[in-house]
Amino acid sequence: MGRKVSVLGAGSMGTAVSVLLAGNGHEVMMWSLFKDEVDMINELREQKEKLPGVIVPESVRCTGDLEESLRFSDICVIAIPAQKVRENMKAVASVNRYRPSVISCFSKGLEKDTGLRMSEVIREELPDATVVAMSGPCHAEELSKGIPTAYVAASGSRKAAEMIQDIFMSPMFRVYTNPDIIGVELGGAIKNVIALCAGISDGLGYGDNTKAALMTRGLAEMSRLGCAIGAKKQTFSGLAGIGDLIVTCTSMHSRNRRAGILIGKGMPVDKAMEEVKMVVEGVYTTVPVYNLSKKYGVRMPITAEAYAVLFEGKDPGSAVSALMNRDRTCEHEAKDLDDNWR
């Protein structure tokens, strides 16, 4: 039976999610801060700027009135840039009569100033809400066209995760549940940093070998930090880890990879972000990931070089040389191998 769902955000992912939910038989009330987006969705039935050619069904409506959207349903989907989540959750909290009970969050990243995951940010502003973090290999451009993929719904509440799983599951969008919300959110955030680096590698003219090595060692960094914070190692071998990493590092739909290519070709970081014309989460997320690596004493050389390139003006080619010329070491942690040497 169809449900009513509120979707905050009318950009590419908000629109794609709304199209998916409508296809599953649900009624959707989107919300946008921008009047031109509201009018575009309601009058043209299309997000012409970010998802041209994708028709938005009539069962999807868009409003500029946050209270109207929240009044529509107690299930709320967040599809806004990670660095805007807190201010929007403050706005949601101010609507006292219509606070959502379950929040499904598609925003991937860490808050720049605090290093908090999105579920932590949401819970600080809406402590009574149950958060389900959504992550996996999924570009809005493909999701909106019904191209098959698989995703993860992660929460400390099995009931909430399975409810969101049921709402989103379709013949073209398979959803798995996972109790490891820490690992799922960290995977979705850190892969943006590695994707920026993959783009820089492409921009420098390096090949497939380089990118494969970068992705593999990036996954090792992701797993090391995640486990230090409390995530489960197996999460990073799943859809929210290696799955999301692969698609973000290799696809031209990836704004992080596209920005990285421009940086690798010599374009200043701020200009590269302007050229992409969409939020490049990896630039903002590099700061808290770098800080967390220091806080937890985790070796993350790729992240450290990304930080140096993005915020200290280091030449990307010099960063690659620094990575390649580090002291030799074993591929895996010594504690995992001590009993295997002869």
- Taking the C-alpha atoms of residue 219 and residue 251, their distance in angstroms, rounded to an integer, is 17
Q: Which of 112, 191, 211, 265 is catalytic?
A: 191
SS3 state at 28: strand
Tokens 């799983």, residue located: 165
Q: What kind and span of H or E run contains 178?
A: strand 173-178
Side chain identity at 119, as an amino acid letter? Answer: S
Q: How far is CA 189 from CA 163, 184, 333, in A?
A: 24, 9, 23
Do 200 and 316 meet the contact criterion of CB atoms below 8 Å apart? yes
Tokens of 33: 């801060």
Tokens of 256: 């992080």
Q: What kind and span of H or E run contains 15?
A: helix 12-23
Q: What is the DSSP letter of 170?
A: B
Task: Please choose, from the candidates 223, 214, 224, the residue with its C-alpha nearest in 3D space to the C-alpha of residue 194.
Answer: 214
Q: How far is CA 152 from CA 103, 158, 211, in A?
A: 15, 13, 25
Tokens of 264: 């690798």
- Taking the C-alpha atoms of residue 154 and residue 117, their distance in angstroms, rounded to an integer, is 13
294 belongs to the catalytic site:
no
Do 122 and 129 meet the contact criterion of CB atoms below 8 Å apart? yes
Q: What is the DSSP letter of 43?
A: I
Rounded to the nearest 10 degrees, the angle between the axes of helix 158-168 and helix 12-23 is 80
The set of residues, in sequence order, having a beta carbon less than 8 Å from that of 318 and lying 6+ positions away, is: none
State the catalytic residues. 191
